[in-house]
A and B are shown apart, each in its own frame.
Chain A
Amino acid sequence: MTIVSYIFLIIGAMFFLLGGLGVLRMPDTFNRIQAGTKATTLGAFSIVIGVIFGSVENHLDWIPKLIIIIVFIAISSPIGSSTIAKATYRSKNIPDNLVQDDFKKRGENQ
């Protein structure tokens, strides 16, 4: 059981590393949000699952709290990133490499 737990923990930590690297290397804000959100969400899932496997032997009472953490991260992380994306767009620093922009035409319909 400990082996399985450490496999999940190392995979999760590697996804965190990839998320950090993506935030560092991507060229503009929207792509940074994408890399950061996806990699860290799966990394957090994987680390919490690893801790569940590690604690199943002698800490059974941890599991409800870990499930609450998983559910909360799964709900709040995409909402937070899309809030940042909307605020970035509204604050008028749009990257100039977009090949198509449907969001700009949004105000004309109203």
Chain B
Amino acid sequence: MMDWLDFIVLTLLGLGVLFTVIRFVLGPKLSDRVVALDTLNIIIIGLIVFLALVFESKLYLDIAIVYAVLAFLETVVFARYLEGKNNDNS
């Protein structure tokens, strides 16, 4: 019965992912791409948690926790890279 509501939620999430991916491809600077990647990661965490409810499987929650930790690490590492990259040139 609730199938069409699932469909609405997934459509909205998909549009959010689409916008961030467009910014990721367009992004004039490297920092814009990192921002788009950070936003995309949080949207994907929400998507995985929602999929746990749709498929009624507990494993997705473990995946979401691990993905959240990895996304935070990834953000910090990219920021470090961005910071160190121009210190050499200037």
A residues at B contact (CB < 8 Å): 2, 5-6, 9-10, 12-14, 16-17, 19-21, 23-24, 29, 32-33, 36-37, 40-41, 43-44, 47-48, 50-51, 54-55, 59, 61-62, 65-66, 68-69, 72-73, 76-77, 79-81, 83-84, 86-88, 90-93
Determine the main DSSP class of B at the interface with A: helix
C-alpha spacing A65/B67, complex, angstroms = 13
Q: Are A83 and B79 in contact (CB under 8 A)?
A: yes
Q: Are A40 and B65 in contact (CB under 8 A)?
A: no
Q: Are B61 and A54 in contact (CB under 8 A)?
A: no
Q: Can you show 9 pairs from A to B with CB atoms below 8 A apart?
A: A17-B13, A17-B15, A32-B36, A33-B35, A54-B53, A66-B49, A80-B79, A83-B79, A84-B78
Nearest B-chain residue to A51, judged by Cβ? B53
The total of Cβ contacts below 8 Å across the A-B interface reads 168
In the complex, which of the residues A6, A20, A32 has the most CB atoms of chain B within 10 Å of its own CB atom? A20
Q: Which of B24-75 contact A (CB under 8 A)?
A: 29-32, 34-36, 38-39, 42-43, 45-46, 49-50, 52-53, 56, 58, 61-62, 64-65, 68-69, 71-72, 75
C-alpha spacing A87/B31, complex, angstroms = 8
C-alpha spacing A86/B78, complex, angstroms = 12
The size bracket of the interface on B is 35 or more
C-alpha spacing A40/B13, complex, angstroms = 11
Q: A55-B53, A73-B45 are in contact. Are A90 and B87 (CB under 8 A)?
A: yes
